[in-house]
Chain A
């Protein structure tokens, strides 16, 4: 293993552990950003230039900001003394454990079913950006369009949820 890849892997793991164990929510989010960066570094070490930069652009530039904004905009229900905590219908612990178990199971199944070492006889050619684009536009065009449609639908949904129509009273007063 190259030293750079080793450092990136260590940083990714460290950031991930810190992200789930720190008390301060914003610190957790920033540690997650460190993990995103390190994963981008790992991609770069593997010769996947495009994926690495896309990782930084999407995860650090957009998703991390989204996480941070979400944690700023949501309130801590415990901070409001007037609010009586409602009894929860479902305990969160088993739910979290179930989801974590399912994700781990899928990952383990994927790792188990794949070869551990790449086939040495196959020519290892890093695909160029042009080839990536051509593949995306021909072989994977349906997947690409479906993802685009889903994201557009999600965005429109978010806008519809967020926009609060002005109440009729405001309109009469004409503020």
Chain B
């Protein structure tokens, strides 16, 4: 029974595919996978806009949307209708083609990125051998979209916003990829389903063998999530669209549905990157303890994803926005060295996996933690030394 429930989506897909003549079947299977991804995460996008508005309202002691439907649950539909019926304004001086293509190029790569994420047992659209690399490769295509939006609008605010956004995207891609590489180092594979399999089994006290329960995994997970926040342009790293200074950055000249596409692309990339974070560090679709294994795997994935989204909403409600120089200093002087240290700690963990003497597990933990905490302490002390924190000097603008 539990197994049937676990494979329910797979079985439904097989039944649906079997209805078609044999030469069409691969196409139908691909279409069904794509349709399921678009429908699920489109729906999650609608739900998340509501959740985010409600959550932020709670944090700020407000009520949030409560007019449309019970608890304001139909608010996303109202928003969508508003976006669809709004006038689509294109500036006369804008580069028509680039302005038109940018929102599409923002959404399509993100949807492609979903194809390699395992949402459950056997529930992955494309089991690529270099799946993680595919994810980062399609993710890097959105930088071009941001540039096209900023340049094609022919507006100084959009261009400034785009340059800020691209600088941020490139800077935080380095720690993001490096912290993911530490998992690749230990798991020995680039395929995401295989990385989930490398976290199978249960260790001490029935706790799962997730990578986040190791010293390097915990550090890597935190670094990955910080870099993911910056990559998806969310508060406290949302200064490319800082509305108090450059209005909405590269999206300033977009209205109506094109703006909605940018919005959609940002949320979809948030879900995708959280999904990869879950796959890399939080055991993917695996249950945290052995006696909960009967819960279908996709439900575990969904629960973890909703948890990640809750953390992102919480962060947005509590953190002030960074300044541009703080953003860059944080990326290059803290995130990059720390992700390199994490990589070394992961290598140590991998090298000591063969230790068998009594107390080896404890020693590995102590060594790994020391390898991470000492550089962290030294780094944070040197960065926050008295005299280092002062008023900002504008090197290129004074």
Residues of A within 8 A of B129 (CB): 49-50, 128-129
How far is B151's CA from A65's CA once the two chains are assembled, in angstroms?
Answer: 12
How far is B143's CA from A30's CA once the two chains are assembled, in angstroms?
Answer: 12
Min CB gap B227→A, angstroms: 15
How far is B396's CA from A164's CA once the two chains are assembled, in angstroms?
Answer: 9
Min CB gap B391→A, angstroms: 9
Q: Taking A65-B166, A65-B170 as contacts, is the C-beta distance between A164 and B398 under 8 angstroms?
A: no
Q: Are A61 and B140 in contact (CB under 8 A)?
A: yes
Residues of B within 8 A of A170 (CB): 393, 398
- 1/0 per residue, CB under 8 A from A, across B30-53: the answer is 000000000000000000000000
Residues of A within 8 A of B98 (CB): 26-27, 30
Q: Are A61 and B141 in contact (CB under 8 A)?
A: yes
Residue B11 interfacial (CB < 8 Å): no
- 1/0 per residue, CB under 8 A from B, across A9-35: the answer is 000000000000000001100100100
Q: Are B140 and A57 in contact (CB under 8 A)?
A: yes
Min CB gap A31→B, angstroms: 11
- Among the stretches B130-138, B305-313, B321-329, B363-371, the one at the interface with A is B130-138
Q: How large is the interface on B (under 10, 10 to 19, 20 to 34, 35 or more residues)?
A: 20 to 34
Residue B148 interfacial (CB < 8 Å): yes
Residues of A within 8 A of B151 (CB): 26, 68, 72
A128-154: which residues lie under 8 A (CB-CB) from chain B?
128-130
How far is B130's CA from A49's CA once the two chains are assembled, in angstroms?
Answer: 7
Residue B92 interfacial (CB < 8 Å): no
Q: How large is the interface on A (under 10, 10 to 19, 20 to 34, 35 or more residues)?
A: 20 to 34
Taking a contact as CB atoms closer than 8 A, the residue among B141, B144, B190, B395 that contacts A129 in the complex is B190
How far is B149's CA from A68's CA once the two chains are assembled, in angstroms?
Answer: 13
Question: Interface of chain A, helix or strand or loop or mixed?
Answer: helix
Residues of B within 8 A of A53 (CB): 130, 133-134, 136-137
Min CB gap B12→A, angstroms: 29
How far is B134's CA from A50's CA once the two chains are assembled, in angstroms?
Answer: 8
Q: Taking A170-B398, A175-B393 as contacts, is the C-beta distance between A62 and B137 under 8 angstroms?
A: no
Residues of A within 8 A of B166 (CB): 65, 69
Q: Are A57 and B398 in contact (CB under 8 A)?
A: no
Q: Taking A166-B393, A166-B395, A170-B398 as contacts, is the C-beta distance between A60 and B141 under 8 angstroms?
A: yes
- 4 A-B pairs closest in CB distance: A61-B140, A56-B137, A53-B137, A57-B137
With A57-B133, A61-B140, A72-B151 already in contact, 13 other A-B pairs whose C-beta atoms are closer than 8 Å? A26-B98, A30-B148, A49-B129, A53-B133, A56-B138, A60-B137, A60-B140, A61-B141, A61-B173, A62-B140, A65-B143, A65-B144, A129-B130
A-B contact pairs, 20 of them (CB 8 A): A26-B151, A30-B148, A50-B129, A50-B130, A53-B134, A53-B137, A56-B137, A57-B137, A57-B140, A60-B144, A61-B139, A62-B140, A62-B170, A65-B147, A65-B170, A129-B130, A129-B190, A130-B189, A170-B393, A175-B393
